[in-house]
Structure 1
């Protein structure tokens, strides 16, 4: 209750300032709501335009040219995880690059076989064999090239140089694919590589040879966003709330007695010194009026007595022998009741 009394007392003593502040805040909120409602915001966004996709990939296949228990002679094996030298001594590599159709695109394709001799991870020999090497302009969105690699002959070459090296090092093979494209708007290079493994009876590409890229051009544009109902609605509601608060403050100021509030505050502060009771009305007693309840509490503290609160007349008193020190908001009513 003490906080409520203090708040009411503050409003009573400063009601014009408080009402003015609430009114000003209410007007500002309503003006702000009107501004937000009538002023749409613009935002700059970046969009990717003129998107074009480019990709390249290499597929493997092998023709069964020798009788085999696994495959029929003349059968073509495509994109298998492994090929056998006894059945298919040669492998075909098909490289295809896809570009936007309907416009001239210059496409250069290159597929190489790298042979590296290494010892303890460090190279001591390297050679490159070009399998595919084309450069052309296409308009149908597709550039393709196909070449056959004699794996059996390659294996014999590797065996010969391995015989020369003995156990000092080993040879590693890798297929390296590269496609370069050039359009009116974009140019770039697609690259991929994968190990190529040949053992005693089989060979295979250890991975996929695929690369792709999407090109685009960033463009900025302005977009207008409509006002957010949550924003101007909240400001409008807040403005009305401030006007309502101003009305409440005015009502409180018209119905409160500042002196009574001060008395209530002191009552709450010194409640441990105040007890409920009735004053003696014996005419032999001497009644001494104290101007404020706080002064009366001081009297009680000085005389080591308690303050008696008589709620019937809303008065306070300290009884000290034949003397009664009292304080009441309504002095006339208290005097008449006490008969003085």
Structure 2
């Protein structure tokens, strides 16, 4: 069956409706493109950060040389050294330095603690805490310092006692822990509250000691507020795509409507579809005109092909008369778009069977 013939027939029947639908779809596409262009997207601006306050705490360390040593001068104060020697600097000073926003009263508390722990197979067996510094104060000028001292020989003796008590089972460790809390007024009547904390190992030997790392912490507090929105440029890809698609659809629809308006012979197209379907049963020839034969009109070409199949005959198509016929002895079965024209041509007016 000819696909093109079937398509032409369907277009002849439904072409007007389809063309109108295409034109409507094209107008909608153009309208959508216009809407996208006239209504570009809007996005929220990133929130604005304000009333930013910085809080920080750090622990520095120093020792004054009180014992004889060729390494330092007597009475000299050494600061933030990677290692100190017990015989020449037996006392370690730990200074807690706090920085808070200036011009505001900030409540701070400090707790600086020495922590001893006994562990076995990475599990804690016991713990002892010794407070070096416990302080509550209000800072108004942005900075504050507090100092605590550690008698290292006494601390070493204490640790040795813990190790002897554990009898070589597991291990003993010592560390310095700092915990600082702050409370500060925030803009708009709120408050900022937080905790700064840190831990550093305190390595103790009979001859030397050191802090294995830095002990410090910091935090930033702030508030945020919306900044509104901003308009983005329209998506021109969508705009141009909608315009292009709309124009194409309108042209297709208008062309289909114009083709349909010119008038398409639906019956002729249907005949073409049927002819292509039964082409193997149809041959081109002349329509037989003989008044001695009986002519029988068949309503459809499909029914005429059925007659040919039943009688084992072929369908003869006369292109001049646009008539199909099947000759079976004295019977002539035929189908034509205008059967009255055939009756007149063969002189059979009123003589059909």
TM-score higher than 0.5: yes
Aligned partner of residue 183 in structure 1, secondary structure: strand
Shift of 1:110: 3.0
Structure 2 residue aligned with 1:78:
80
Alpha-carbon spacing, 1:220–1:87, altered in 2? closer, same or farther (3 Å): same
Asked if 1 retains the 8 angstrom alpha-carbon contact of 2:281 and 2:305, the reply is no
Structure 2 residue aligned with 1:25:
25
Structure 2 residue aligned with 1:209:
215
* Deviations 1:294-323, CA, capped at 9 Å, x for gaps: 334434544556767899998877677897
Alpha-carbon spacing, 1:36–1:128, altered in 2? closer, same or farther (3 Å): same
Shift of 1:188: 1.5
Separation in structure 1 between the aligned mates of residue 95 and residue 273 of structure 2, nearest angstrom: 96
Structure 2 residue aligned with 1:67:
69
Structure 2 residue aligned with 1:257:
265
Alpha-carbon spacing, 1:278–1:25, altered in 2? closer, same or farther (3 Å): closer
Separation in structure 1 between the aligned mates of residue 42 and residue 334 of structure 2, nearest angstrom: 72
Structure 2 residue aligned with 1:279:
285
Alpha-carbon spacing, 1:229–1:41, altered in 2? closer, same or farther (3 Å): closer
Scaled by the length of structure 1, the TM-score of the pair is 0.72
2:139 aligned with 1:137: yes
Scaled by the length of structure 2, the TM-score of the pair is 0.70
Matches within 5 A, 1:270-309: 270=277, 274=280, 278-279=284-285, 291-303=299-311
Matches within 5 A, 1:193-232: 193-226=199-232, 228-230=234-236, 231-232=238-239
Shift of 1:157: 1.9
Structure 2 residue aligned with 1:247:
254
Shift of 1:189: 1.4
Alpha-carbon spacing, 1:311–1:58, altered in 2? closer, same or farther (3 Å): farther
Separation in structure 1 between the aligned mates of residue 171 and residue 109 of structure 2, nearest angstrom: 33
Alpha-carbon spacing, 1:116–1:7, altered in 2? closer, same or farther (3 Å): same
Aligned partner of residue 228 in structure 2, secondary structure: strand
Matches within 5 A, 1:1-340: 4-39=4-39, 42-44=42-44, 47-50=47-50, 51-60=52-61, 67=69, 76=78, 78=80, 80=82, 83-85=84-86, 88-118=89-119, 121-131=123-133, 133=135, 135-140=137-142, 142-167=143-168, 170-185=171-186, 186-226=192-232, 228-230=234-236, 231-254=238-261, 256-267=264-275, 270=277, 274=280, 278-279=284-285, 291-303=299-311
* Deviations 1:166-221, CA, capped at 9 Å, x for gaps: 34664332222222222221222112223333245543434443323222223234
Aligned partner of residue 101 in structure 2, secondary structure: coil
Separation in structure 1 between the aligned mates of residue 205 and residue 150 of structure 2, nearest angstrom: 16
Aligned partner of residue 274 in structure 1, secondary structure: helix
Aligned partner of residue 266 in structure 1, secondary structure: helix
Shift of 1:250: 0.8
Asked if 2 retains the 8 angstrom alpha-carbon contact of 1:108 and 1:134, the reply is yes
Separation in structure 2 between the aligned mates of residue 328 and residue 60 of structure 1, nearest angstrom: 117
Separation in structure 2 between the aligned mates of residue 139 and residue 233 of structure 1, nearest angstrom: 63
Shift of 1:52: 3.0
Aligned partner of residue 47 in structure 2, secondary structure: strand
